[in-house]
Structure formats: structure tokens, C-alpha cells
């Protein structure tokens, strides 16, 4: 008997065991499934707005660790970490920015004259709505 | 009869919540396994799952090949997990080690396993390198992740999954053996 045929059943047995263990030790928490189903209510609001492209940024800029940059439609928004605070920079700087999280309504963000803002105590999925004179754009959801 | 994924995607894109729920049911285990396989703790993994599903909501109108949904979800979850893991690591200034600070199975996980062999095997799974751990987690998810999704998430040709799986399981056995669990123990 070739070695593969001998090994095969025991591979399957081991995987079966892992499946069983995974099911009892680390099943998908019911709230995770509930939130996944609930995500669907965010659908209708999504269809109209232009979406910004996302690019991962890696590096340090003036003590801040870069996270992500969203660009498109003449807008850019980048995010960085500064000792636990989330630092954002939006261009053009006069844009009105709102923060959305799945569980609460959108909240306005104070952006200074150079387009910079600071967010503390933000966790979980978020996305940004950016309101310009002529149009509104939205970022993808990201985990913070 | 099981409805094809392609029909569920069309119905969900049309606003059908029941179809969406069915897509979730078929993939929630896989998305969770990717986040946990990347070494995230349960809270971070829950965030990554939610983001992944929110992203599919944004994207569902643009999906042309419905069968690609599984791979798309796995890839987004994997990328998002890595970003979160890197950020969490940086924030706790634990850059000296490749392992995530919180990936060891917590007592609440282990306490659910009554069989000593199972507990050891579960601990050994966490000791594997990221790629093996994610592959085996995805295969062990319920329902098991399709090979196409595994291939996309781990950026490997589908043809390599079988041999990689074999190698990862062999490594797992080896780790278990060092802790006194033999192949005979595991096969019984």
C-alpha cells in the first residue's frame, strides 16, 4: 500500500477531531452571527455615494504610525495612531466629516483649519462620511 | 434543497434579508476561523467579522461571480485581521516576537474541552505558524471553508492546499507527540 493511502484516513480522523474541538472550544459567538445579519440594514444607505479607495499605509510620520489612506473624487483622508489616539487628516481641509459606527447614528467630527482631527476611545468598525460642497463621499468600513 | 450561492447573492443584492442571513450562515464559521487563525483574541475577531460583513454589504451589488463570494470574504477577513493584529501589537509595544500577545487559548476555551488529548491538541494548534494555523482553522470551521476560499485567503494555488494540509497536520502531530499524545491516542 502506498504511504499516501495509509496516511489519508488518519489525516481525515485528525481533521474530524479538530472540527469537533473547534466546535466546542471556539464556536462562532451568537452575537457575532447576529451582528453579521444586522449588517444588512446598512445596505440601502450605501448605494448612492461615491466610495473612496483604500490603501494601507505603513510607516511613521512625525511620531504618528500611519494606518490607512482613502483617496478618490478629489478627496483624501488618512488615519494614523498617536499613543492610542486616532489622528485623521482630511483634504480639502474645509470638508465636513462625520463618523459612523454600526450601532449609533453619525456624529460630526471637529476638524481644524488644516484638516486635522483627533478621535479618542474609538473601537470596532467605523467609516467616515465626507461632505463637500458638490458631493458626499464615504470610506470603506475599517476596524479600529 | 440547498439554494445555490449565486441565487442567494442575487436575492441579497435585491434587498432580501433572508437570503443575506443564509449567506451569513454558510460563511460565519469561515470568517471567524480566519480572524482567530490570525491570532486575534475573541473581541478583536468579533470586530473583524463585523467589518468583513459590513464590507460585503457595500460590495454585494458589484459581485459578478457569486461563487467568488467565499473567497472575497476570506480575503477581506484575512487582510483586516492582519491590520488589526499589527496595530494591536504596535500599541502594546510587543514587536519583539512574531506571535500575537493574546493568541494562547484562554481558560474559557480550554475549560470547554473535557478530554485531555483535545486540550493539548488545541494548544498545539496555536503553536503552529500563522499559515498552518489559519489553514487548519479554516478546514475545521463549520461548514468547512471551500478550497477556493482557502487558496485566495492564503494566496496559494488550490493544488497546493492538499500537500500543505498534510504538512501542517504532520507538524501538529509532532507537537502533540512532544507532549505525550501519540498518533494512536489521536486515532482512537
Does residue B109 belong to the interface with chain A, where contact is any CB pair within 8 Å? yes
Based on the fold, state whether residues A124 and A103 are members of the same structural domain: yes
Does residue A62 belong to the interface with chain B, where contact is any CB pair within 8 Å? no
Residue A4 has a pLDDT of: 52
Of A37, A65, A142, the CB nearest to B51: A142
Q: What distance lies between CA A104 and its chain's CA centroid?
A: 16
Residue B155 has a pLDDT of: 95
Structural domain of residue B142, as residue ranges? 5-187
Based on the fold, state whether residues A68 and A134 are members of the same structural domain: yes
Q: Which residues in chain B are contacts of A40 at CB distance < 8 A?
A: 12, 17, 20-21, 57
Does residue A21 belong to the interface with chain B, where contact is any CB pair within 8 Å? yes
Are the C-beta atoms of B33 and B42 separated by less than 8 Å? no
Structural domain of residue A64, as residue ranges? 49-143
Based on the fold, state whether residues A9 and A24 are members of the same structural domain: yes
Does residue A15 belong to the interface with chain B, where contact is any CB pair within 8 Å? yes
Q: Is the pLDDT of residue B12 over 50?
A: yes
pLDDT, mean of each 10-residue run, chain A (144 residues):
57 92 94 96 66 72 81 89 88 92 89 94 90 87 91
Based on the fold, state whether residues A66 and A137 are members of the same structural domain: yes
Q: Which residues in chain B are contacts of A140 at CB distance < 8 A?
A: 55, 58
A124-138, B84-98, B109-123, B126-140: which is most confident? B126-140
Q: How far is B21 from chain A (nearest CA, A)?
A: 6
Residue B110 has a pLDDT of: 72
pLDDT in tens, B57-86: 988 888 878 778 999 999 999 999 998 988
Based on the fold, state whether residues A75 and A92 are members of the same structural domain: yes
Does residue B136 belong to the interface with chain A, where contact is any CB pair within 8 Å? yes
A12 three-state secondary structure: helix
Q: What distance lies between CA A46 and its chain's CA centroid?
A: 15
CATH code, A72: 2.60.40
DSSP alpha helices (H): ranges in chain B? 5-13, 17-37, 42-59, 69-91, 107-110, 116-127, 130-139, 147-153, 158-178, 183-187
Q: Which residues in chain A are contacts of B144 at CB distance < 8 A?
A: 19
State ipTM.
Answer: 0.88
Based on the fold, state whether residues A61 and A38 are members of the same structural domain: no
Q: What is the CA radius of gyration of chain A?
A: 22
Based on the fold, state whether residues A16 and A73 are members of the same structural domain: no
Of A20, A26, A33, the CB nearest to B36: A26
> Grid coordinates representing B128?
503552529
Cβ distance B28 to A33 less than 8 Å, yes or no, reads yes
> Grid coordinates representing B152?
485566495
Based on the fold, state whether residues A79 and A19 are members of the same structural domain: no
Based on the fold, state whether residues A23 and A61 are members of the same structural domain: no
**How many domains, chain A?**
2
Are the C-beta atoms of A70 and A54 separated by less than 8 Å? yes
Based on the fold, state whether residues A59 and A127 are members of the same structural domain: yes
Cβ distance B141 to A22 less than 8 Å, yes or no, reads yes
Measured between CA atoms, the residue of chain B closest to residue A9 is: B187
**Mutate which of B19, B20, B50, B172 to test chain A, going by most A C-beta atoms within 10 A?**
B50
**How many domains, chain B?**
1
State mean pLDDT over B48-56.
Answer: 97
Amino acid at each position: 500500500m502506498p504511504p499516501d493511502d495509509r496516511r489519508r484516513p488518519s489525516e481525515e480522523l485528525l481533521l474530524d477531531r479538530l472540527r469537533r474541538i473547534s466546535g466546542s472550544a471556539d464556536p462562532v459567538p451568537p452575537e457575532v452571527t447576529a451582528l453579521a445579519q444586522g449588517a444588512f440594514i446598512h445596505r440601502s444607505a450605501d448605494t448612492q455615494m461615491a466610495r473612496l479607495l483604500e490603501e494601507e499605509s505603513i510607516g511613521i510620520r512625525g511620531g504618528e504610525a500611519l494606518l490607512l489612506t482613502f483617496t478618490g473624487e478629489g478627496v483624501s483622508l488618512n488615519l494614523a495612531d498617536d499613543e492610542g489616539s486616532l489622528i485623521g487628516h482630511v483634504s480639502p481641509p474645509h470638508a465636513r466629516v462625520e463618523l459612523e459606527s454600526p450601532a449609533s447614528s453619525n456624529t460630526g467630527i471637529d476638524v481644524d483649519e488644516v484638516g486635522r482631527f483627533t478621535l479618542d476611545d474609538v473601537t470596532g468598525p467605523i467609516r467616515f462620511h465626507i461632505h463637500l460642497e458638490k458631493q458626499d463621499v464615504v470610506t470603506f468600513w475599517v476596524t479600529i | 434543497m440547498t439554494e445555490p450561492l449565486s441565487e442567494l447573492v442575487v436575492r441579497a443584492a435585491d434587498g432580501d434579508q433572508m437570503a443575506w442571513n443564509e449567506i451569513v450562515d454558510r460563511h460565519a464559521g469561515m470568517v471567524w476561523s480566519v480572524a482567530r487563525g490570525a491570532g486575534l483574541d475573541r473581541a478583536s475577531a468579533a470586530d473583524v467579522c463585523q467589518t468583513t460583513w459590513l464590507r460585503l454589504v457595500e460590495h454585494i451589488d458589484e459581485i459578478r461571480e457569486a461563487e467568488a463570494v467565499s473567497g472575497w470574504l476570506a480575503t477581506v477577513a484575512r487582510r483586516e485581521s492582519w491590520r488589526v493584529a499589527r496595530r494591536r501589537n504596535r500599541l502594546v509595544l510587543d514587536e519583539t516576537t512574531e506571535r500575537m500577545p493574546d493568541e494562547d487559548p484562554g481558560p474559557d476555551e480550554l475549560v470547554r474541552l473535557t478530554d485531555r488529548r483535545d486540550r493539548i491538541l488545541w494548544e498545539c494548534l496555536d503553536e503552529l505558524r500563522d499559515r498552518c494555523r489559519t489553514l487548519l482553522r479554516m478546514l475545521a470551521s463549520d461548514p468547512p471553508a471551500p478550497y477556493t476560499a482557502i487558496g485566495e485567503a492564503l494566496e496559494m494555488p488550490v493544488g497546493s492546499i492538499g500537500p500543505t494540509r498534510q504538512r501542517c497536520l504532520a507538524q501538529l502531530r509532532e507537537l502533540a507527540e512532544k507532549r505525550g499524545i501519540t498518533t494512536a491516542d489521536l486515532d482512537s
